[in-house]
């Protein structure tokens, strides 16, 4: 059975359902881009909560002084983020401020600028993030770490 050429021409010129075909082609691509973006957003949100927890521990040390157990409780209680740990444990050290860093010094010593060495508390927070889908380069879980340092004396 032979199809008339006018029938073939009319089928080729028919534009009905073209948008459905375009959608069927582009929708998987858009969803494929959306899932990693949502995953990245969830990871960033968890990292922000982790940094807030480390800052809460440092703020506790600033207001209440050195108490390692209470600082760890402040870190773990600052967010509903699970699992969260205050690892490595909070530490106390003496040093002299040097631009954007603190140079270690003996407690009670005098710094190069003539000021006394300060007492600093370093608070750490750690949590793991498991992506929604597995990415070959990232592995099955990512360890997020946050650190906050404050001068208490």
Better-scored residue on pLDDT, 12 or 62: 62
- pLDDT, tens only, 108-132: 888 888 888 889 999 999 999 988 8
Q: Where are the domains of the chain?
A: 18-151
- pLDDT of res. 19: 83
Separation of alpha carbons 133 and 123, rounded Å: 31
Query: Rg of the Cα trace of the chain?
Result: 29
Separation of alpha carbons 107 and 58, rounded Å: 20
- pLDDT of res. 3: 65
Question: Helices 68-77 and 18-64 sit at what angle, rounded to 10 degrees?
Answer: 160
- pLDDT, tens only, 10-54: 766 767 777 888 889 999 999 988 988 999 999 999 999 999 999
Separation of alpha carbons 74 and 33, rounded Å: 38
Q: Where are the alpha helices (DSSP H) in the chain?
A: 5-13, 18-64, 68-77
Global pTM reads 0.76
End-to-end C-alpha distance for the chain, whole angstroms:
96
pLDDT at 6 over 80: no
């Amino acid at each position: 059975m032979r199809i008339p050429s006018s029938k073939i021409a009319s089928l080729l010129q028919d534009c009905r359902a073209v948008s459905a075909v375009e959608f069927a082609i582009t929708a998987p691509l858009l969803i494929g881009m959306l899932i990693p973006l949502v995953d990245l957003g969830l990871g960033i949100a968890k990292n922000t909560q982790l940094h807030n927890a480390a800052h809460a521990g440092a703020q506790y040390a600033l207001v209440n002084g050195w108490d390692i157990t209470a600082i760890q409780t402040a870190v773990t209680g600052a967010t509903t983020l699970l699992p969260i740990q205050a690892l490595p444990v909070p530490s106390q050290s003496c040093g002299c401020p040097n631009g954007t860093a603190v140079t270690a010094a003996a407690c009670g010593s005098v710094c190069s600028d003539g000021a006394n060495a300060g007492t600093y508390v370093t608070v750490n927070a750690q949590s793991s993030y498991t992506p929604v889908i597995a990415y070959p380069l990232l592995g099955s879980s990512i360890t997020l770490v946050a650190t906050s340092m404050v001068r208490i004396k």
